[in-house]
Amino acid sequence: MYPANYGTFSNRFQGRANLLGRIKTIVNRKRLKSVVAHLPLRARVLDVGCGNGELLIALRQARPDLELFGLDWHFPVETRAALESQDIGVIEAPLEAAELPAQPFDLIVMLQLIEHLWEPEESLRRLVRALAKDGRLLIETPNPDGWDRRLFARCSWGGYYFPRHLNLYNFERLAELLNRVGLAVESQRSLPAPLIWAYSLQGAVQARFGWKTSLTKLFAVKNIPLVAAFAFLDTAAIAMKLTTSNQQAISRKV
């Protein structure tokens, strides 16, 4: 399900010359800013499912003092070299089988990852054991309670991302899971979900005109104006207290 050219492994979203990649990195840094700002000097940070490592490289530039590690089940040679050149530790293994360093982490980040796991609860327990006392876990994942899902009731909602998304959590289910594994939820909030909008519309077009229709190109995630429009739409929805199809949860080890 994850070939070598899968988006997060490839240079599809990478680099200074890639506008979408730059936007993605800026958005992720902004979402992490408040948490990273409170990390102590030389804090240890693990990005689980780090993909091409762009976020870790951005964190290295923002906080050179941090000890950074990236975990993913596959690292292309060029990605490994780029991370190691920035003194970022690389752990190449599925989370369920990974050997995590003995020294605990102050922050573990899981961006759009938990929904891909076969055993999410056991995987979270492993990560909790790897957290320092009062260490924090930051998760971002789709939310099936998003207001837009009702517009795609015939199963074309992009958050399903079949067959790669195995588990979906609304606010309540995610909070219950975090509590079960020994974490106290500090905050939960909706986030814009422009890529889910794009995938939803692609699915709706394919359902109407066939799997191979070229119309899907109109709603590609590289269509920057369209993605920006959906980000603005969801930002307005959040301002109106609506739940979107993307969420962030920050929890603390108790």
Residues 129 and 70: their CA atoms lie apart, in Å, by: 17
pLDDT digits (tens, 9 = 90+) for 180-229: 999 999 999 999 999 999 999 999 999 889 988 988 988 888 888 999 99
> 66-76 as b/e, with b when 16 or more CB fall inside 10 Å?
bbbbbbbeebe
- Enumerate residues 6+ apart whose C-beta is below 8 A from 91: 69, 70, 71, 72, 98, 99, 100
Instruction: Tell whether the model's pLDDT for residue 10 goes beyond 60.
Output: no
pLDDT digits (tens, 9 = 90+) for 132-178: 999 999 999 999 999 999 999 777 999 999 899 999 999 999 999 99
CA distances from 229 to 19, 126, 198, 236, 250 (A): 16, 39, 11, 11, 27
Instruction: Give the number of other Cβ atoms within 10 Å of residue 80's Cβ.
Output: 16
pLDDT score recorded for residue 252? 97
pLDDT digits (tens, 9 = 90+) for 41-67: 999 999 999 998 999 998 999 899 999
pLDDT score recorded for residue 111? 95
Q: What is the mean pLDDT of the chain?
A: 91
Which one has a higher pLDDT value, 68 or 24? 68
First to last CA, the chain: 36
Residues 198 and 176: their CA atoms lie apart, in Å, by: 30
